Structure formats: structure tokens, C-alpha cells
Structure 1
Amino acid sequence: MRFSIVPFLLLSIPLAEIATFVIVGSQIGVFPTLGMVLVTAIAGSILLRIQGFGVVRRIQETMNEGGVPGRDLVHGMMIMVAGVLLLTPGFITDTLGFLLFVPAIRDAGWRFLKNRIVILGGPAGAGAHHPGSNRAGDEPRTIDLSAEDYSDSTNGNSPWKRPDRD
């Protein structure tokens, strides 16, 4: 049986957070600990707003110039994950969230991901012609279906027949 890390993380991260709360709370007290958690949530929401709007602006500028904003899209996702981590109560998740707000760390993540993902797009949107996207010729491959070609009746020999319809 293959070992999955997800159930392990779902169990170990909350336990580590609880242990951290106990250790920090025993050192500085309950109310200062709760205050720190509240302050990091507020700081995270402010950082999410500031950096999130900056990424959206860069994505718009890149698209207006006709480019594909792959790096900025990945940075946007990392900022969103950072915001969720900072809004989640805990010191370990807050540390990971603050690290994702650092552009150098996001760039390292982008360098790791850029050869593993494929981003398709173009200046004219989803319907744009991409060079090399057609297999034969320069004409787009369009299938026109007229009213005569379409029927709602089911053919008993059709492989597309739904099992619940006889």
C-alpha cells in the first residue's frame, strides 16, 4: 500500500500547533498568546490585500502587453495560500504564511514550478489562434452541426447510450 503524506499532515500540523500554543502560552501567558494570533491574522489580511492588488495589477499589465502572466499567476496563488495560512490560527501556519509573502521565496517556488506546468493563453483570450495548434492547414477546425444533423432519438446500437435509458 502506498503511503500518502496528506493524512499525516492533517494530523501532525494541528498537533504541532497545539504544542506550540502550549509552549508559547506557558512562556508569555494566555492573553498575550491570543493577542499574537489575532495580530498575525490582521497583518496577514492587510498583506493579502496589498500584495494581492499588486499581483492583479501586474497580471493586467502583462495581458495588456500581449504576454502570458504565468509567473504572476503563480505568485497570486502563493499569496492566496499565504493569506489562508495567516488567517488560520497557529504559529507554524503563520510562519509559513509570512514566508510566502516574501517575493524571493515565491520566485524560488516559481522556478520550481515553471518547468512542471503548462500555461496556455494569448492576447485575444481563449479563442485566440495559437501557432502550431492546428494539425493540418491554417484553418481552424470547426464542426458545424445543423438542425438536420441533430436528433434526440436514441439509437440502440450507440456506444454513447446512457445506461438509465432503454
Structure 2
Amino acid sequence: MRAFLLLFLLFPVLELYVFFKVSTAIGFFPALLLIIAGSLFGVLVVRVAGLATALSARESLNRGELPAQQMLQGLMVALGGGLLVLPGFISDIAGLLLLLPPVRHFLVNRLRKRAEEQAMRQRAFAEEFETAHRPGTHQPVGREPNVIEGEFEHRDK
């Protein structure tokens, strides 16, 4: 959480630094025009990506398939377009990377694998919970009975 907060505070400073460096290299107004052009391109990408994702999802549903892959692809394109809308060169580069199909496929596959692993862990936990706490047994959740089997002998002095 602290890393996210640090990134959230550091990101605008990095964007300003990069803008300053680019504007000293090519001039202030060309750098400003690049940022405005990037934002306009991002708005266009978000509008087109939303429509394309909706149409692709509808096609998948008509075929009787779940449109998970298309939805994740559309989400990546929309995120890329959103990053392009943000003013700054770092966010524009990240947005352009998300628009490249190989980068999107890599990220979508990684997200899908992570979601599958999470689902497997939750499924394993649910099965373990069901076998430990069958209906009819009155045990508190998360506690196992303290039963020690053995033999004993009572000795008096």
C-alpha cells in the first residue's frame, strides 16, 4: 500500500521532470502539442475500443461462449487509451505499450493465469472447509476438536 502511495505521489513529479526535459530539447510549444495530440488520440482510442469490445462480446455471447478474453483485451485497450488521455509522456508511453497486441496478450494471459490460481486456492479452501465442517456437527468455525486417543491407568498412592 505504501508503494502505491509513493508511486501516486511520485508519478506527477516524474511526468513534470520528463516534460521539462522534452520541452528543453524540442521546445515548449511542440512538447505541449505532443501532449495535446496524445490526449486527443487517447479519447479516440477509448471511444473506438468501447464499441469494438461491446461488439466482440456480443458476438461471443451469440456463439454461446463467455467473452472473458475479449473483455480483458478491451479493458487493456481502454486502459491504454485512458493513459493516453492523461497529460504526460510517461503515461503516453505506457498507454501506447498497452495498445500493442503482443503486450496486451502477455498481460491478459498473465492476468488469466493469476485469476485461475486464485480460483484454485479458493476452491481448495472451500472443499477443505466443507469436509471439516459437515452438517450436523456443531464445531466452531476454524477449530478442530481436541481429542487425544490413548490408554490410561489410575494409580493411587
Q: Fold conserved (TM > 0.5)?
A: yes
| Aligned-pair CA distance for 1:6 | 0.5
Distance (Å, rounded) in 1 between the aligned partners of 2:83 and 2:39: 9
TM-score of the superposed pair, with normalisation by structure 1: 0.65
| Aligned-pair CA distance for 1:20 | 0.4
| Aligned-pair CA distance for 1:71 | 0.9
**AA in 2 matched with 1:29:** G
Distance (Å, rounded) in 1 between the aligned partners of 2:28 and 2:86: 18
TM-score of the superposed pair, with normalisation by structure 2: 0.69
Structure 2 unaligned blocks of 5 or more? 117-157
| Aligned-pair CA distance for 1:99 | 0.9
Q: Does 1:88 align with 2:86?
A: yes
Indicate the residue corresponding to 2:66 in structure 1: 68
> Deviations for 1:85-142, whole angstroms, at most 9, x for unmatched residues?
1111000000001111112111101110112226xxxxxxxxxxxxxxxxxxxxxxxx
Distance (Å, rounded) in 1 between the aligned partners of 2:16 and 2:28: 13
* Superposed CA RMSD: 1.5
Pairing partner for 1:28 from 14, 22, 26: 26
Q: Does 1:116 align with 2:114?
A: yes
Name the structure where helix makes up a greater proportion of residues: 2
Please say if residues 84 and 96 of structure 2, whose CA atoms lie closer than 8 Å, have aligned partners that are also in contact. yes
Percent identity over the alignment is 30
| Aligned-pair CA distance for 1:13 | 1.2
Indicate the residue corresponding to 2:42 in structure 1: 44
Indicate the residue corresponding to 2:150 in structure 1: none
| Aligned-pair CA distance for 1:11 | 1.7
**AA in 1 matched with 2:97:** L
Q: Does 1:79 align with 2:77?
A: yes
Please say if residues 46 and 82 of structure 2, whose CA atoms lie closer than 8 Å, have aligned partners that are also in contact. no
Pairing partner for 1:18 from 5, 16, 19: 16
Please say if residues 49 and 78 of structure 2, whose CA atoms lie closer than 8 Å, have aligned partners that are also in contact. no
Distance (Å, rounded) in 2 between the aligned partners of 1:93 and 1:34: 14
**Aligned residues between the structures:** 116
Larger radius of gyration: 2
Indicate the residue corresponding to 1:122 in structure 2: none
